[in-house]
Amino acid sequence: MSAYPPVKVGLLGLGTVGGGVTRVLARNAEEISRRAGREIIITHAAAKNLNTTTANTAGMKLTGEALEVVDDPEISIIVELMGGYEPARSLALRALANGKHVVTANKALIAKHGNEIFAAARAAGMMVGFEAAVAGGIPIIKAIREGLAGNRIEWVAGIINGTANFILTAMREQGRDFPEVLAEAQALGYAEADPTFDIKGIDAAHKLTILASIAFGIPLQFDQVYIEGISHISREDVAYAEQLGYRVKHLGIARRDVDGVQVRVHPTLIPQRHLLASVSGVMNAVLVKGDAVGQSLYYGAGAGAEPTASAVVADIVDVVRTLTADPENRVPHLAFQADALSDLPVLPMASVETACYLRLQAQDRPGVLADVTRILADRDISIEALVQKEPAPGASDVPIILLTYEVQEQRMNDAIAAIEALDSIRAPVMRIRLEPLDSD
Ligand code: HSE
């Protein structure tokens, strides 16, 4: 038996993840209290739809009013699982001002308002845990912030949106259509309340913002992230990439460059033989390159009730441990001490260099390819592979697939504009960036 009284927790949100947290805490109560040094009980929970929740709410006071939980004087830790920017931001700030620690799975909240929330937490002497905000059940925040603290992190590349990966996997393996697979991801509880966040890359950008800060010791800068989703990727692109030895994955990439850091989210061709290429369905994986450790790969469930609850409960245990042990000696929110963050700029996408896959829809007549290759040659863009495919049944134009060597984004933008201006090419040109993910 612990010498300390139980820690009381208030829960905001009893949806997919909230339900998972109540079940995991109840099922593993004994082991969790042995780890934390005391019992942890959810005493008060708020949700919009109390009638529809699948949560294990036995013994909890339930309310439809989140403020009642945040202002409950008995509670030491507020667990925010509502998602979205507001009222999550106001409630988190109020909880901190009320002298409560905060644990959240809300990547949108941390990516956009984390700087403000962490400053408020430091001023109040409170902790904010957000392990569940990135890659669901994978303890990637802890791995980078603590496990890799001896390294200079060179880059991070991850499949960090389960819904997008689920859709791309089903398109490739089963040739299924986008809307049907999206509906399945929603039914399984993987997709955000607003699924455009998943398919437009916003959810992945929220997570990458957090990873970039922790990797490089820079403030959170969601507005600086280059964001491209997967909704324009066709089944044909996925198939052509396969034929060339690549797989299309939606990646978040944060890379240290000469004058700053690249922070970008976009569909990416990666070699089929690369480990990341075999990450299928809703699974997430984050590859981290540190100067000392080399590459290390973290793989697991990136969404879903209990995998996400696993990370939420781990944060609660962290908070409870410091309540009993060493409250002054905390791991800084963004891995680096708050007064030691760097002003390394996030680089404009136009300066980033990547190889590219291009798909053009061209009229099948002499001179078209010559026009295209001249446009590329004039801009010093070198072609690695070029394939002309059969026209689709009944179509008058033919797909031409090009792989280029590394080229600066701005130069490729100019080339694409010039190619799209040709009479013989049907706009838009499809461009997917390519990352070899080798050891550099
Ligand atoms: N919608 C998110 C995903 C949930 O699909 O990855 C986990 O953040």
Atom of ligand 1 nearest to the CA of 303: 7
Measured in Å, residue 409 CA sits from the centre of ligand 1 at 28
Which of 159, 167, 192, 209 to mutate for ligand 1's pocket (most ligand atoms within 8 Å of CB)?
192
Q: How far apart are CA 208 and CA 86, in angstroms?
A: 21
Atom of ligand 1 nearest to the CA of 105: 8
Q: Phi, psi at residue 319, to the nearest 5°?
A: -65, -45
Measured in Å, residue 18 CA sits from the centre of ligand 1 at 15
Q: Note the pLDDT of residue 322.
A: 86
Catalytic pick among 100, 207, 249, 289? 207
Q: Kindly list the domain boundaries of the chain, sorted by start residue.
A: 7-137+306-340, 140-301, 352-434
Which of 141, 163, 251 to mutate for ligand 1's pocket (most ligand atoms within 8 Å of CB)?
163
Atom of ligand 1 nearest to the CA of 195: 1
Measured in Å, residue 40 CA sits from the centre of ligand 1 at 27
Q: Note the pLDDT of residue 49.
A: 83
Q: Note the pLDDT of residue 328.
A: 63
Indicate the CATH number of 352-434 among 3.30.70.260, 3.10.310.10, 3.40.50.1980, 3.30.465.10: 3.30.70.260
Atom of ligand 1 nearest to the CA of 160: 6
Token pair for 201: 């890359």
Measured in Å, residue 302 CA sits from the centre of ligand 1 at 6
- Residue nearest (by alpha carbon) to ligand 1 atom 7: 303
Which of 161, 168, 249 to mutate for ligand 1's pocket (most ligand atoms within 8 Å of CB)?
161
- Residue nearest (by alpha carbon) to ligand 1 atom 4: 303
Q: Who lines ligand 1 at CB under 6 A?
A: 136, 161-163, 190-192, 198, 203, 302-303
Buried b (16+ CB within 10 A) or exposed e, 57-79: beebebbeebeebbebeebbbbb
Q: How far apart are CA 7 and CA 42, in angstroms?
A: 9
Measured in Å, residue 53 CA sits from the centre of ligand 1 at 20
CATH of domain 140-301: 3.30.360.10
Spatial CA neighbour of 424 closest among 370, 378, 377: 370
- Look up the CATH superfamily of 7-137+306-340: NAD(P)-binding Rossmann-like Domain (3.40.50.720)
**Long-range pairs, 195-201, Cβ under 8 A, ≥24:** 195/163, 197/108, 198/161, 198/163, 198/164, 198/229, 199/163, 199/164, 199/167, 199/229, 199/230, 199/231, 200/227, 200/229, 200/231, 201/161, 201/164, 201/227, 201/228, 201/229, 201/230, 201/250, 201/265, 201/266
Q: Note the pLDDT of residue 181.
A: 85
Annotation says 8 is catalytic: no
Asked whether 251 and 286 are in contact (CB, 8 A), the reply is no
Residue-by-residue pLDDT tens, the chain, 440 positions: 567 899 999 999 999 999 999 999 999 999 998 888 889 999 999 998 887 777 888 899 999 999 999 999 999 999 999 999 999 999 999 999 999 999 999 999 999 999 999 999 999 999 999 999 999 999 999 999 999 999 999 999 999 999 999 999 998 998 887 788 888 888 887 888 788 999 999 999 999 999 999 999 999 999 999 999 999 998 889 999 999 999 999 999 999 999 999 999 999 999 999 999 999 998 999 999 999 999 999 999 998 899 999 999 999 999 998 887 666 667 778 888 788 899 999 999 999 999 999 999 999 888 999 999 999 999 999 999 999 888 777 888 999 999 999 999 999 999 999 999 999 999 899 999 999 998 67
Measured in Å, residue 198 CA sits from the centre of ligand 1 at 7
Q: How far apart are CA 207 and CA 163, in angstroms?
A: 14
